[in-house]
Structure 1
Amino acid sequence: MVADKHDLLSLCRISSAFRSQAERLIYRSVDLREPDGDSMWRLKLWAEAASKHAYLAEYVHSLILQLPISFEPSIASKLTRALAQSVHLKELRILGPRESSRYNFFQGSIINKCSFRLTKFENRYFDDKLILEFWRNQTEILLLNTDRDICALDPESDLLPNLIAVKTNNVKDLPAGRALQRVEISTMAHISPLKQYEASLTTLNLRQKHWQYQWLRQPQELVLDALVRAVADIVPNLLHLGILDEQKHLHDFHRSSISSSSLQRLNKLESFILQMPDVRHFTVLGVNQIPHFMGESGGLFSAGRDMMAACPTLRRVALATNAVQVHGAVLTRSQAEGVIHEEPKTWLQVEALSMFSA
């Protein structure tokens, strides 16, 4: 099967016999992000085509929009019509200009009248209160990704009745009174509010910069272990855990460790993603007292095997570091034979590995 979009476009030009099926595949997943963050040519081309030819809009299942601060009226009109005709759309990401991504913008009318029913929605553009009509129409959203307060998640609200997964910056922005199954937050501090989801939460990703670990008041080498113990105390029934240090400017490398007793407190854990770019030596205490050198694949694999030995329920461990060069490793244990398969990575594709968006 031909899957590359360039090849599909070539087929469209070669023969009209291929055109219908090729267009169906090309338009199923549409990404209109601009490399330079300013140009709107992709958005203009798609809005023109999808507004003019309704059948093209009807093919779209997944759409990523990067919208400017303001629109020319003609572009706004075409985009509104194109979205209204995207009746089978299920996954929508709306991003703002990169340099102003935390501002609120106003063109709520672009999506308020749409009839599609999303299952996944990311909003990093609209002022929440200007898309109330949109929220009322969206009864099938399962996963919500946002960097701002959402009135649809107020405790008194009956909106988004099927919501099970939320990705947001701060734990205080998570909705109360919901049986959330998956949570991703951009903090590792003060995670105690997650306790309200103890009975339902299966997947947790914690993303943060290294310097913000200071709240744990632990020596650097013990920070990870303290964090895992804190998670186990709050949501002990987790199946999938990700701890993702996203710092990009490394100054010092250090040691880190995790104890087998801390891992075993998560006695249902099946997968663990650990991204720690500034860790050079890593130890799984209680399994092997010798630190593993994380600057090579062998050290990553050894550390992963020790983690699996410490936690028998683990089926997959993914590790990444920048100790010498950017690289990672994924270890998968077969359920039947217990054989561990090791796969080196240049870097972890966290979104693909995480169960948050599954």
Structure 2
Amino acid sequence: MNVLQSSPSAAARTADPAILATGLRKSYGDKLVLDGIDLSVSRGSVFSLLGPNGAGKTTAVKILSTLVTADAGEARVGGYDLAADPQAVRAAIGVTGQFSAVDGLITGEENMLLMADLHHLSRREGRRVAAGLLERFDLAAAAKKPAATYSGGMKRRLDIAMTLVGGPRIIFLDEPTTGLDPRSRHTMWGIIRELVAGGVTVFLTTQYLEEADQLADRIAVLHGGRIAAEGTADELKRIVPGGHVELRFTDPAAYRSAASALGEVQRDDEALVLRVPGDGGQRELRSLIDRLDTVSVEADRLTVHTPDLDDVFFALTGSTVPAPSGSPDTLEETSR
């Protein structure tokens, strides 16, 4: 198994990461969910944890947010030791779970004020914070309406707004866009980017590979209770073979000349398509075009294909790309 980085680097440790965990283990009965995972999350970044259902994503979030206790391992969140000072950790973080914490029987504003009370804000400060966040998340017009009348996207925005009442610098988002339509999902992405631009650290679990590709500074793939690989999206894509340049032709004579000039390539004589293995880098493309120029051939269309996160996910987990269902991680849920 290819592992780009399975443990925090020395550079990450000296940079005082927002989250630093080593050797986290967790079992539910005889079912091992986390098998000694290491994580390092830089401040003011988006870190995404990918994995199939039952991989342990939600358990990792619950441990790091003090909701459950690890069987073994150590972690520091926001600079505080998870075991020695859980109250300080709770004061530094916000958590938005897979399922909405919004109370549909009261208004959006009342949900916000309830969170302000839980954070021991004064009545005046609570109203100020609530109004500001409702405005920021484009919910001011619906603030006086029962939350049960909100759309799925509005409820998710209210969920995150409630998470921000205490001003956390680290936020755990556990599959925050599951079940949302594409427009609402893109709105949520914009909100996450704004949070990070303001210095907030986001720990994101998701089953949308495009979401991790769009948002995450670093991605870890969790499989079988272990980190199978970790790196930037581009780094992960480079560990999967299959990159190629595709050349399409309409003239059979030009196709045959190109095939002869390029040597060992994958041919599709019926479609008049040649596939040349490679990463599609500038130097590689220039060499390819020069070889075609020597036989005075020009392709009708040239396409560079590089592996995407779907390919990475399949290669590392042996699973098909997960289809978000809105249900919790199967193994974790059935093990409780």
Tell me, yes or no, whether TM beats 0.5.
no
TM range, smaller chain: under 0.3
The TM-score, its normalising length taken from structure 1, stands at 0.25
Of structures 1 and 2, the larger Rg is shown by 2
In the superposition, the TM-score normalised over structure 2's length comes to 0.26
Higher relative contact order (CA 8 A, sep 6+): 2
